[in-house]
């Protein structure tokens, strides 16, 4: 190690993940019960420390896979948290990521292993350190993103109803949307494929199912199309 580096302070670098899921009615976050001090037994985001051979994205993917068992998760780097006293155990900087997963696809056995539980974003328990601030920033970022481009499809099953899609947007935005206006705007985006199948659980007549048209969406993004609803 170069002499100059030896004179510099050493700090730990952590990665914390805000994992969003949607249960067709409510937007939720996956939390774990911390099993070590400080704050043992309290609720926490899933996190870990950056290893020497990793970059930040690889560390976030490792942490997400450890808890959910899912690979190729939609995630986005959120913010760096560097308050000197944010972790009472050691000087630690945390880089937060938020991730979107289908709540029905995560590995429930892994959740049990880490004492993980889904909580509604409106009914969160007391959390350790600055994790409430991380969640607050993640929700604000998600709301900005979904108001300009459709990124919430990772939270839905492969086939979904228009009602499920509207409920997702309402859960993220925290407000009710006019049904007719929402459907018209979504159809105008031309990023859904209407299927001949119906979901018969929603009503006697049933509701048509849709799929996300990723190809059409990606082509529109390259053209610079605005997806603002």
Its domain, for residue 59, covers: 12-146
Cα radius of gyration rounded to whole Å, the chain: 20
Q: Which DSSP string corresponds to 119-135?
A: EETTS---BSTTHHHHH
- Considering Cα of 14, then 80, then 144, then 123, what sign does the dihedral take? positive
Torsion of CA 4, 95, 90, 58, to 10 degrees: -80
Q: What CATH number is associated with residue 117?
A: 3.90.79.10
CA distances from 96 to 6, 75, 78 (A): 28, 10, 5
Torsion of CA 153, 16, 69, 158, to 10 degrees: 0
Pairing of the two strands 92-100 and 12-22: parallel
pTM of the model: 0.91
- Structurally, the chain folds into a number of domains equal to 2
180/76 same-domain check: no
Asked if the model's pLDDT at residue 193 lies above 80, the reply is yes
Q: Is residue 59 part of a domain?
A: yes
Q: What CATH number is associated with residue 214?
A: 1.10.10.10
Contacts of 82 (CB under 8 A, 6+ apart): 93, 94
Of 116, 146, 176, the residue at which a domain comes to its end is 146
93-97, 137-141, 201-205, 225-229 — which is least confidently predicted?
Answer: 225-229
For 15, phi then psi, to 5°, come to: -125, 125
Question: Quick check: 64 and 100 in contact, CB under 8 A?
Answer: no
CA distances from 80 to 16, 36, 94, 111, 133 (A): 10, 23, 6, 26, 11
Highest mean pLDDT among 50-64, 105-119, 176-190: 50-64
Q: Give percent above pLDDT 70 in the chain.
A: 97
What is residue 62's predicted lDDT score, i.e. its pLDDT?
96
The SS3 of residue 26 is coil
Asked if the model's pLDDT at residue 66 lies above 80, the reply is yes
Q: Is residue 139 part of a domain?
A: yes
Summarised one tens digit per residue, pLDDT across range 107-156 is 888 888 888 999 999 999 999 999 999 999 999 999 998 877 777 888 99
What is residue 75's predicted lDDT score, i.e. its pLDDT?
94
H/E element, 221: helix 214-223
Count the Cβ atoms, other than its own, within 10 Å of residue 19: 28
Q: How far apart are CA 229 and CA 221, in angstroms?
A: 15
41/131 same-domain check: yes
61/98 same-domain check: yes
> What does pLDDT average to over the chain?
91
């Amino acid at each position: 190690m170069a002499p100059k580096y030896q004179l510099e302070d050493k700090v730990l670098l952590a990665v914390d993940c805000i994992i969003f899921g949607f249960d067709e009615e409510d937007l939720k976050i996956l939390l774990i019960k911390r099993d070590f001090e400080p704050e043992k037994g309290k609720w926490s985001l899933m996190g870990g420390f950056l290893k020497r051979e990793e970059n930040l994205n690889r560390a976030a993917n490792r942490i997400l896979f450890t808890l959910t068992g899912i690979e190729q998760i939609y995630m986005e780097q959120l913010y760096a948290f560097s308050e000197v006293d944010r972790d009472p155990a050691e000087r630690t900087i945390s880089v937060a990521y938020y991730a979107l997963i289908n709540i029905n696809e995560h590995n429930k056995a892994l959740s049990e292993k880490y004492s993980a539980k889904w909580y509604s974003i409106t009914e969160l328990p007391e959390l350790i350190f600055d994790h409430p601030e991380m969640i607050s920033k993640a929700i604000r970022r998600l709301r900005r993103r979904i108001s300009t481009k459709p990124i919430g499809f990772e939270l839905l099953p492969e086939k979904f109803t228009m009602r499920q899609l509207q409920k997702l947007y309402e859960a993220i935005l925290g407000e009710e949307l006019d049904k007719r206006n929402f459907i018209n705007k979504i159809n105008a985006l031309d990023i859904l494929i209407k299927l001949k199948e119906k979901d018969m659980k929603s009503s006697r007549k049933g509701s048509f199912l849709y799929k996300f048209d990723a190809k059409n969406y990606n082509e529109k993004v390259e053209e610079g199309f605005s997806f603002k609803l």
